[in-house]
Amino acid sequence: MLQFELHVLTGPRSGESIPLDQKRFSIGTNAADDFQVVDETASPKHAILTSTDKSYLVCDLYSSSGVFVNGARVESAELKIDDVFNIGKTSFLFRKSTARRLKIGEASEGLSAAISFVYQQFVKAKGKTKIVWGAVLALLLGLMIWVFGGASLVKLIPFIKTGQTNQAIQATSEAGYQDGFDRGSQKGNLYIQMLQLDPANAHRHLTWVADPWNGNPPILKGDYPMSPWNVKPPVLPVGYTTNFIRGYRQGLLNQIQPYEEYLSKQ
């Protein structure tokens, strides 16, 4: 049976990883909940996770602010690996357990590093030396497939080329998500201010907010300066850009959705 955990991305307990080793796991502000959320926007017994054959089902227990999975409000949803769901201001990443990943990672780390090293030598070599390194590389790749299966090769490709290890890529991915989330939250807040100041040009403001890499907003100028991210995504570390965009979208939604719900009730 697969083992899963929740990794807390945002909120007072950000950085924690909680193993899901029980059939039912409750989340809310109640001290009796399995995970207590310290958040005025959350509810006691806010949501519950229930084990299924291959995953967990997250269900909203008629909370006041709802449950959002990848930005969409749900009553219930079966979680997939790397799904992000929100309860109040706390974001959770659903993933395979760290213990399981480390067990596999420790077994493959040395082989992965060897493949990465041999690949670098193969690229640099010329003539007969290149043939020798190519043979060694083929042997190691065959061993990787035999021991860990063909899917392992797909996951190995990014750090064969960069020399990054599994753990480095994981850390980079989490950093990318957090940076993106912070950026998205900041721009979402500015976007709301722009709508309030200049609602007639909502489309122009939306164009600005859709680009995570740009700088100052169209109308707030020097009062609310935002530096552009003068970094081209291709030069960023493996795993960073994709997770930065995911985090950015989630940060935007966390700011904009409550504002839109507030407007709809006016």
- Angle at 30 (CA atoms; ends 26, 34), nearest 5 degrees: 30
Report how far residue 3's alpha carbon sits from residue 5's, in angstroms, rounded to the nearest whole number.
7
Lowest mean pLDDT among 26-35, 220-229, 233-242: 220-229
Residue with tokens 């990672």: 105
Each residue's pLDDT tens digit, 120-170: 788 888 888 989 988 988 888 887 777 666 655 555 555 555 555 455 556
The pLDDT assigned to 230 comes to: 46
The amino acid at residue 110 is G
User: How distant, in Å, are the alpha carbons of 35, 38, 52, 214 from that of 24?
Assistant: 12, 20, 10, 43
Cβ contact 238:169 at 8 Å: yes
Measured distance CA(115)–CA(148) in Å, rounded: 14
Q: Over the stretch 173-186, which tens digit does the pLDDT of each residue have?
A: 677 788 888 888 88
The single-letter DSSP state of residue 67 is E
Give the HSE-up count for residue 38: Cα atoms under 13 Å, Cβ half-sphere. 6
Distant-in-sequence, close-in-space partners of 58: CB < 8 Å, separation ≥ 6: 47, 48, 49, 67, 69, 74, 76, 77, 79, 85
Q: What is the pLDDT of residue 156?
A: 58
**How confident is the model over 77-123, as pLDDT tens digits?**
999 888 889 898 888 889 887 554 444 444 455 666 677 778 878 88
Per-residue pLDDT at 76? 92
Whole-angstrom distance, CA of residue 26 vs CA of residue 58: 9
Residue 198 pLDDT exceeds 60: yes
Q: Please check the confidence at residue 12 and state whether its pLDDT lies above 90.
A: no
How confident is the prediction for the chain on average, in pLDDT? 76
